[in-house]
Chain A
Amino acid sequence: MNAITVKNLKKVYRTHKRGKGMWNAVVSLFNRKYENKHALKGVSFEVEEGEVLGLIGPNGAGKSTTIKALSGILHPTSGDVKVIGYVPWKDRVKYVKHLGVVLGQKEQLWWDLPAIDTFYMNREVYQIPNNKFKRRLNYMVKLLDVKEVINSPVRDLSLGERMKCKLIAALLHSPKVVFLDEPTIGLDIIARDRLRDFVKEVNQKEGTTFIVTTHDMQDIEKLCKRIVIINHGVIVYDGLLEKLKSTILNNKIIDVKFETKVKGFRLKGCKLLEKGDYNFVIEADTKVTKIKKVIDYLLLNYEVADINITDPPIEEIIQRIYKEKKKWVHT
């Protein structure tokens, strides 16, 4: 069953162009020149009930426009959206009762009060029955280990503690669908792991559908099986993470440090991105050479001090997808 269906979603912003200076400001009062900005150029995807979908893309790609349309905040120019049976912007009030949203940086907690007070406020906002509220609060507090945290004023909390409280606030009313916008940005590794485990647990136990937008590939790998990549208002990839990894993410970045001075490096399928006296940054194409081969070669021929293997950044992945597509179109 689909929890979310998006069909050919388009959004055109009409912004008026304004020149600089006082005179142009006056002119634009009478003679406005408009400019159309296509934020979404026909986006379609589906999310199954109980899925955790990763929505990724660079800044300004259309991620937040999509999330806003799905939250009922934004009226799209055209296209159909159904989320758990509702058209978000038409049935907004009824719909958002079943929706939880964590807006990344924006504060949703009462600054001078303990987070528990915000939770009580949300109990009224969503009219959660008392016993259900208590049960749910206890469950989440235990899971995130914030028993003391929720009783001290929010202004005294760390970024991670605040994010945990925001998550609780957004999930208290047991929403069926949850949108998380950059949930781990700025958090330390331990807090990140805790948050990811929490989302996973809620998802598995309650079948809650999640859409997570993030810059962090780690978030994606830990949480999502399927991802949608969006760029310039178009979906450039929709499919399993594994598949992306095997077809496009076949490049690995290898950061090696050495005990002794090194000179050059040459191996089939490898590109030297950066070269220092004591380190290399190598990009290895795993279709040509197995990663094990590269490592073996390095260990055999150099005094290796440290090796670090990572995925390329998101911008590069998108570029690769484009290249792949072009190849596909041309041949």
Chain B
Amino acid sequence: MSRYLRLFLKNSALRLSSEMAYKWNFWVKTFAVALGDLIGPVLILLIYSTTSGIQGWSLAEFILFQGTLTLVIGFSHVFFTLIGVQTIDMVRHGKFDAALIKPYNPLLYLSFTSFDWDGLAEIFVGLALLTWSFITLGIVIFSWNFVLYLFLIALALVLFYSLVVMISSLAFLLVKSWALFALFFRTIDFARYPLDIYGQGLRVLFTFFLPLGVASFYPAKALLDGIELTIVLYLMLSMSIFLAISLVLWHFAMKKYSSAGG
């Protein structure tokens, strides 16, 4: 494991100096990312400043909700997004061989060499939104609910990792995987608002089949009201299944690649 850690550190350092080759552009990109994360909260702020909002959610609770999602997206951006970007790019240009002549498991190698500095701003925006809402709501950090909250965020990261691995695997099977990647980001938009605003069908979809609720709704619920253990158990099961499917798919993609040779 320590060799993967060293690989990760060295690669991330190089990525940083690579970004710093265009220092000015890096800061502009970071600014754009931060602005993008404020779209949701600004919309909510505007709605809450002209109306009394939506049932069951105060402004601060809503910001907590969106801050949680921003944090999850931020971590995924920093740690996972480049896995997909690199894979799709390599497959498209016939360069995936380069990953296979390294003495590592290719998925682990990609996972440890994909730190994206662009996304750090997203984590900071998420943390800022959470700090504000935690203070406003007076949330106690030393509580069972908070532990559950962190646990659900971890589960959400498992989900996002699995989805990125799935999309990366599909890059070997389909040619047009950029569009899929874009669609993935669009679908995440559903998680920007509480599941209880949607109709029954969508609520079931985002709880049981594509459990995006784990990235915002259920952690926020757990922290604010507490949730039933059965849901937590279900989400754990669901994430394990997602992870398993993604790994099987990746394995299948590798097999296909090594028998077709790119």
**Chain A residues packing against B (C-beta within 8 Å):** 13, 65, 68, 71-75, 89, 92-94, 96-97, 99, 101, 103, 106-108, 110-113, 117, 120-121, 124-127, 153
Q: Determine whether the beta carbon of B21 is less than 8 Å from that of A112.
A: yes
Bound Cα distance from A101 to B105, whole angstroms: 18
Q: Determine whether the beta carbon of B10 is less than 8 Å from that of A124.
A: yes
Q: Determine whether the beta carbon of A124 is less than 8 Å from that of B104.
A: no
Q: Determine whether the beta carbon of B261 is less than 8 Å from that of A73.
A: yes
Closest to A118 in B: B14
A99 / chain B contacts, CB cutoff of 8 Å: 101
Closest to B96 in A: A73
Q: Determine whether the beta carbon of A93 is less than 8 Å from that of B103.
A: yes
Q: Determine whether the beta carbon of A75 is less than 8 Å from that of B258.
A: yes
Residue of A73, A89, A94, A124 touching B7 (CB-CB under 8 A): A124
Known: A103-B98, A113-B18. 15 other contacts (CB 8 A): A13-B261, A72-B100, A73-B261, A74-B258, A75-B258, A75-B259, A93-B104, A93-B105, A96-B103, A106-B94, A110-B14, A124-B10, A124-B11, A125-B102, A126-B103
Closest to A108 in B: B98
Q: Determine whether the beta carbon of B103 is less than 8 Å from that of A94.
A: yes
Bound Cα distance from A68 to B262, whole angstroms: 10
A111 / chain B contacts, CB cutoff of 8 Å: 18
**Chain B residues packing against A (C-beta within 8 Å):** 3, 6-7, 10-11, 14, 17-18, 21-22, 93-95, 97-98, 100-105, 258-262
Closest to A113 in B: B18
Given A106-B94, A112-B18, A96:B102 Cβ within 8 A: yes
Closest to B102 in A: A125
Residue of B3, B94, B101 touching A71 (CB-CB under 8 A): B101
B108 CB, min distance to chain A CBs, angstroms: 10
10 A–B pairs (Cβ distance < 8 Å), ordered by A: A72-B101, A73-B100, A96-B101, A96-B103, A110-B18, A113-B17, A120-B10, A124-B10, A125-B7, A127-B3
B260 / chain A contacts, CB cutoff of 8 Å: 13
B21 / chain A contacts, CB cutoff of 8 Å: 112-113, 153
Bound Cα distance from A233 to B21, whole angstroms: 46
A117 / chain B contacts, CB cutoff of 8 Å: 14, 17
Closest to A111 in B: B18
Bound Cα distance from A9 to B84, whole angstroms: 34
Closest to A170 in B: B101
Q: Determine whether the beta carbon of A121 is less than 8 Å from that of B14.
A: yes
Q: Determine whether the beta carbon of B3 is less than 8 Å from that of A121.
A: no
Closest to A123 in B: B10
Bound Cα distance from A121 to B12, whole angstroms: 10
Q: Determine whether the beta carbon of B97 is less than 8 Å from that of A71.
A: yes
Q: Determine whether the beta carbon of B18 is less than 8 Å from that of A125.
A: no
Q: Determine whether the beta carbon of A106 is less than 8 Å from that of B98.
A: yes
B22 / chain A contacts, CB cutoff of 8 Å: 112
Bound Cα distance from A324 to B24, whole angstroms: 65
A59 CB, min distance to chain B CBs, angstroms: 15
Chain A to chain B: the 3 pairs with minimum beta-carbon distance, closest first? A112-B21, A124-B10, A74-B261
Bound Cα distance from A199 to B155, whole angstroms: 52
Bound Cα distance from A126 to B259, whole angstroms: 26
B104 / chain A contacts, CB cutoff of 8 Å: 93, 125
Closest to B18 in A: A112
Bound Cα distance from A71 to B100, whole angstroms: 9
Bound Cα distance from A72 to B18, whole angstroms: 30
Bound Cα distance from A89 to B259, whole angstroms: 10
Bound Cα distance from A306 to B204, whole angstroms: 84
B97 CB, min distance to chain A CBs, angstroms: 5
Closest to A99 in B: B101
Bound Cα distance from A75 to B258, whole angstroms: 6
Bound Cα distance from A75 to B261, whole angstroms: 8
Q: Determine whether the beta carbon of B101 is less than 8 Å from that of A101.
A: yes
B102 / chain A contacts, CB cutoff of 8 Å: 96, 125
A50 CB, min distance to chain B CBs, angstroms: 22
Closest to A95 in B: B103
A108 / chain B contacts, CB cutoff of 8 Å: 98
B254 CB, min distance to chain A CBs, angstroms: 10
Closest to A125 in B: B102
B95 / chain A contacts, CB cutoff of 8 Å: 106-107
Residue of A73, A112, A121, A127 touching B101 (CB-CB under 8 A): A73
Bound Cα distance from A113 to B22, whole angstroms: 11
B21 CB, min distance to chain A CBs, angstroms: 4
Bound Cα distance from A97 to B17, whole angstroms: 27
B69 CB, min distance to chain A CBs, angstroms: 32
A121 / chain B contacts, CB cutoff of 8 Å: 10-11, 14
Q: Determine whether the beta carbon of A113 is less than 8 Å from that of B14.
A: yes
Residue of B97, B98, B261 touching A65 (CB-CB under 8 A): B261
Bound Cα distance from A106 to B22, whole angstroms: 24
A124 / chain B contacts, CB cutoff of 8 Å: 3, 6-7, 10-11
Bound Cα distance from A11 to B95, whole angstroms: 21
Bound Cα distance from A117 to B14, whole angstroms: 7
Closest to B15 in A: A110
Closest to A89 in B: B258
Residue of B3, B105, B258 with most partner-chain A CB within 10 A: B258
A127 / chain B contacts, CB cutoff of 8 Å: 3
